[in-house]
A = this chain, B = another copy of it.
């Protein structure tokens, strides 16, 4: 245990030192390093696939589920997609050194607020090995050293990928410090609390994975954590909603990719349009295989008005625990509300602060909704599925935050920076 503590502390000190030189690296040099990483991944495909084979064999022996094994499995195409990710990051502007504000104070001090790297970022993640390169290159381009801690299932794969990236950068850039990207070379669970106690060395932790991983990280961490626990996203159909549009959006938000955090989980409907909306949208959802978990009123409306063959096996009673559940599946909870305010209050109470939407024809109503709903992204007449760094034009994303300190919503390169104040004087002193 003492040895492990010493080792993790050492890794953190090395990362902090590496972050100092990385902070000074020009955009051009950073891009050269990134190109080196991409090239090395290309050339080391065989080595990485061999390492992945070891993980897959161990995983099968350990009885991992099919979907788990699929997430773990690398192919040429998946490695190519990691390489495309690196090339995309190369093409993005450097987020460091951007002037956010510039003023000249009355005493002629020149004040600039300029983006700067955060320092050392620890990424704690589960089984997808592509996170190793995706996260490391985003952190790298934004001037941050990374300490990677991947899931034990992907240990050999992650190790091979990170080694290969470090080798690739070092081969093309002598200034590249190999401690800029470090993969923790042990699967011991005790690593996490030790790593997250390195206050002053590790500046931020970004956990990526399921809710239980993220809660465990947030609870034990002594360094700031940026995260979202889950996405319980809502769509509220106001009484003046265009039902064509509503149907299109709800179907998209629920069924296009139900297993992701920006898929809708709860549909709120103003009671004035309940029957019409329920019949129309409910029927289409059911035909797409969606189960509706309904409050008393919507259940009864559907029971009376839906053809029995559609109703049976597709409409269920919701209980109180459904309102804050992230199904990640073809299930949608449904609730009628009497007013706009009730919809807002339901969302603020049960939602996860991720992405919520109103469908309405009125700009006054949508403004009220957007101001009142306390979520990272608030939509008017558009699918919640757009909450994504790529869709938002960030080029790439490292995750989505529902926090309010630091980045909120999709996190791209810019969201991986802090800022500092630079003050230029000519000898000014304070009177």
Contact = CB atoms under 8 A, between A and B. Distances in A.
Interface of A: 20, 23-24, 97, 103, 105, 109, 111, 116, 118-119, 203-204, 218-219, 222, 224, 226, 242, 244-245, 248-249, 251-253, 256, 348, 366, 368, 370-372, 374-383, 385-387, 391-393, 403-406, 408-410, 418-430
B252 A382 contact: no
A105 B393 contact: yes
Contact of A118 (B103, B404, B410): B404
A254 to B, nearest CB: 11
Given A380-B423, A391-B105, A429 B372 contact: no
State the copy count for this chain. 2
A161 to B, nearest CB: 27
Given A20-B372, A226-B405, A429-B249, A386 B418 contact: no
Contacts of A245: 426-427
A422 to B, nearest CB: 5
A419 B370 CA distance: 12
A376 B420 contact: yes
Contacts of A410: 421
Nearest to A250: B429
A409 B420 contact: yes
Contacts of A423: 377-380, 382, 386
Contacts of A252: 429-430
B427 A248 contact: yes
Given A24-B371, A372-B24, A392-B105, A382 B428 contact: yes
A198 to B, nearest CB: 14
Given A374-B119, A408-B419, A425 B382 contact: yes
A176 to B, nearest CB: 18
A289 B378 CA distance: 59
A427 B368 CA distance: 19
Contact of A405 (B381, B405, B427, B429): B405
Contacts of A426: 245, 381-382
Given A378-B421, A382-B424, 10 more contacts: A20-B374, A23-B374, A24-B368, A109-B386, A244-B427, A245-B427, A248-B427, A377-B421, A382-B427, A385-B429
A430 B383 contact: yes
A428 to B, nearest CB: 5
B111 A392 contact: yes
28 contacts: A24-B368, A105-B391, A105-B392, A105-B393, A204-B404, A226-B405, A242-B427, A248-B427, A249-B429, A252-B429, A252-B430, A376-B421, A377-B421, A377-B422, A378-B423, A380-B423, A382-B423, A382-B427, A382-B428, A383-B429, A385-B429, A391-B430, A392-B421, A404-B418, A405-B406, A406-B406, A408-B419, A409-B421
Nearest to A366: B424
Contacts of A222: 218-219
A24 B341 CA distance: 12
Nearest to A371: B24
A209 to B, nearest CB: 19
Contacts of A420: 374-378, 408-409
Contacts of A219: 222
A235 to B, nearest CB: 12
Nearest to A385: B430
A382 B421 CA distance: 13
A346 B219 CA distance: 34
